[in-house]
Amino acid sequence: MSFSGGSYDEVERWLHNFLVSHAKRVDPRIEVTLDSGDEREGVSYAARLRLGDRTTEPIEFDYKEVAANRGSLAWGAALAERVKQVARSQLVTATTSGRR
């Protein structure tokens, strides 16, 4: 079974679950929101990681790129590391601001 391709909604669910899974490995309190509103429908997604009252800048994802590569182990590993790095930065920011 291949995980590449998929409808916009299927890819959105996969991306959200993937991001949550890897962000929570850094800290289980981190929440992930995925914006896929009207202007993004069928085109892109924007993810934000939140810890307490701190939220990251949006991380942009192109729908076609995610759909085409979500079955690639190398692409997934690189994305997982990117998400964990953003989550670690969020954790450091929250810790140094006294909000841990």
pLDDT in tens, 27-86: 999 999 999 888 999 999 999 999 999 999 999 999 999 999 999 999 999 999 999 999
What gap in Å lies between CA 27 and CA 93, rounded to an integer?
Answer: 13
Helices 73-96 and 8-26 pack at an angle, to 10 degrees, of: 50
Residue 3: the pLDDT is 63
Q: 47: which strand partners?
A: 34, 59
User: In degrees to the nearest 10, what's the CA dihedral of 77, 26, 13, 33?
Assistant: -130
Residue 100: the pLDDT is 47
